[in-house]
Amino acid sequence: MTGDPGEEAQTQAVVSDQDVVRVRQLVRTAAVTAKLSLVDQTKVVTAASELARNTLVYGGGGSVQVRVVRQRRSGVRVELADDGPGIGDLELALTDGYTTGGGLGLGLSGARRLVDEFEIDTAPGRGTRISIVKWAR
């Protein structure tokens, strides 16, 4: 079920840390439109912030699409794509505390905990595509 196409997707290129701020603002606006609770808005914006930073730092930049989705419930879908090196060992990358970038290693694993749906498509040399959804309750 594809549901109502709803709002058009907003696209944001991610090539600087200011773009990560813009992604947060886009996701916040979409989360308000989708009538997410304040806590759920905060969770999906935080998850998007972690993932957009990954796109920038590990993916070498990329783009993010944000849209309001409407099925039985409304929600926010955020899709991130980069053409970076990709992730070799996904299971390891999704482990709390694992990092190759000197961070806290909570970006990927933490972001997954904060959303309702989390899909990742990646392989070495193929870049990384991540899609997350947070539904209104």
Question: Which residue, 13 or 123, has its beta carbon nearer to other proteins?
Answer: 13
Q: In the bound complex, what is the minimum distance in angstroms from residue 13's beta carbon to other proteins?
A: 15
Over the window 97 to 116, marking each residue x when it contacts other proteins by CB under 8 A and - when it does not, the resulting string is ------xx-xx-xxx-xx--
CA distance 68 to 96: 29
Q: Which residues, numbered 30-89, are part of the site for other proteins (CB under 8 A)?
A: 38-39, 41-43, 45-46, 49-50, 53
Interacting residues of 93 by C-beta distance below 8 A, sequence separation 6+: 87, 108
Q: Which two tokens stand for residue 100?
A: 């190759």
User: DSSP H helical segments within the chain, as ranges?
Assistant: 17-33, 38-57, 90-93, 107-114
Q: Which of residues 11-30 bind other proteins (CB under 8 A)?
A: 17-18, 20-21, 24-25, 28
- In the complex, the smallest distance separating the C-beta of residue 111 from other proteins, rounded to whole angstroms, is 8
